[in-house]
Amino acid sequence: MHPVKLIGVACGLGAPDHGCADGPLFLRELKVFQDGDIPAAWEDILRPGPASLESPIAAITELCSRLATHVQNVLEADHFPLVVGGDHSCAIGTWSGVHQWLGTRGSLGLVWIDAHMDSHTFVTTPSGALNGMPLACLLGYGEQALTAIGTTAPKLHPEHVCLLGVRSFEEGEAALLKKLGVRVIGMEEIRKRGVPATLAEAITIASNGTAGYGVSIDLDVLDPSEEPGVGSPASGGLLCSELEQALHQLRDDPAMLAMEIVEYNPHHDRGQLTAKAAGALFRAALGR
């Protein structure tokens, strides 16, 4: 396995609750990604620059551009990027970076594990929060500054994307994904078919016809009764143990190019439960 390079994104400007900006620092302090079996080292923790005085959009655009370059460089060095959020708007930078690195090699697939769809644009959003928009941006919809990072081309084709764990969403974003034909696997379907089978389908969608795929894990996919350390908790989620078990499917898959673990909010955590869950998911997916 390629050595893992951890890139923190200490930014909560895209979330209504900015506390997840402290997530990467806490997770680094708690050493949750330090495991003897997995060669992993912190590369950097990125912070918003002076553009944050202007507007959240300006700050996140600049931060995501920097993040995209970092991710691209890590891949160039034959390492595995693990981006640690911060709010989920960092996904725009992460996957723009992987897309940039892929270049003419082929398309990028993405498995989006989240309680929410994160597929709003400014036309449909009720909150205006940018962490509710990254998937739409990556598909080429939404704020032009954010869809044009690296290149104006969409970073993802709808047929290569699958959402898993969804249970809280608004009509406008659901309509966009439906129009595009993006596969959404909600909790109800997961409860019928099981986590392993539905994750296997998501991986197949992200792999078929692509040059590789990524996995974006929003910790709010987990049930908040067990893991409360997130900014937008939604009840009826996955147990950490069942997601861990299913994530074993990712181990040693050479088609998996990068991963994200985002939205850890240490100020809502209880006895480091959610921090430990982040480490457990990391080991489940990348261990042996």
Give contact residues for Mn ion (rule: CB under 5 A).
88, 114, 118, 218
For the CB of residue 236, give the shortest distance to Mn ion in the complex, in Å. 16
Considering beta carbons, is residue 6 or 136 the nearer one to Mn ion?
136
Considering beta carbons, is residue 81 or 233 the nearer one to Mn ion?
233
For the CB of residue 208, give the shortest distance to Mn ion in the complex, in Å. 24
Considering beta carbons, is residue 38 or 64 the nearer one to Mn ion?
64
d(C-alpha 37, C-alpha 14), whole Å: 34
Closest listed residue to residue 211, CA positions, set 162, 177, 257, 158: 257
CB 131 within 8 A of CB 23: no
Verify cis geometry, omega within 30 degrees of 0, for the bond prior to 150.
Answer: no
CB 257 within 8 A of CB 213: yes
Considering beta carbons, is residue 89 or 210 the nearer one to Mn ion?
89
| Residues sharing a CB contact under 8 Å with residue 44, sequence separation 6 or more, in sequence order | 7, 8, 70
For the CB of residue 53, give the shortest distance to Mn ion in the complex, in Å. 26
Closest listed residue to residue 118, CA positions, set 146, 91, 155: 91
Considering beta carbons, is residue 244 or 260 the nearer one to Mn ion?
260
Residue 261, classified by CB atoms within 10 Å of its CB into exposed (0-12), middle (13-18) or buried (19+), is: buried
Structure tokens at 139: 């598909």
For the CB of residue 138, give the shortest distance to Mn ion in the complex, in Å. 12
For the CB of residue 237, give the shortest distance to Mn ion in the complex, in Å. 12
Considering beta carbons, is residue 88 or 99 the nearer one to Mn ion?
88
Q: In angstroms, what CA-CA distances link 74 with 68, 96, 155, 159, 202?
A: 10, 13, 18, 27, 25
| Residues sharing a CB contact under 8 Å with residue 54, sequence separation 6 or more, in sequence order | none
For the CB of residue 85, give the shortest distance to Mn ion in the complex, in Å. 9
Closest listed residue to residue 186, CA positions, set 205, 162, 208: 162
For the CB of residue 218, give the shortest distance to Mn ion in the complex, in Å. 4
Considering beta carbons, is residue 38 or 216 the nearer one to Mn ion?
216
For the CB of residue 64, give the shortest distance to Mn ion in the complex, in Å. 15
Q: In angstroms, what CA-CA distances link 236 with 77, 132, 183, 188, 227?
A: 40, 19, 20, 9, 12
Considering beta carbons, is residue 127 or 151 the nearer one to Mn ion?
127
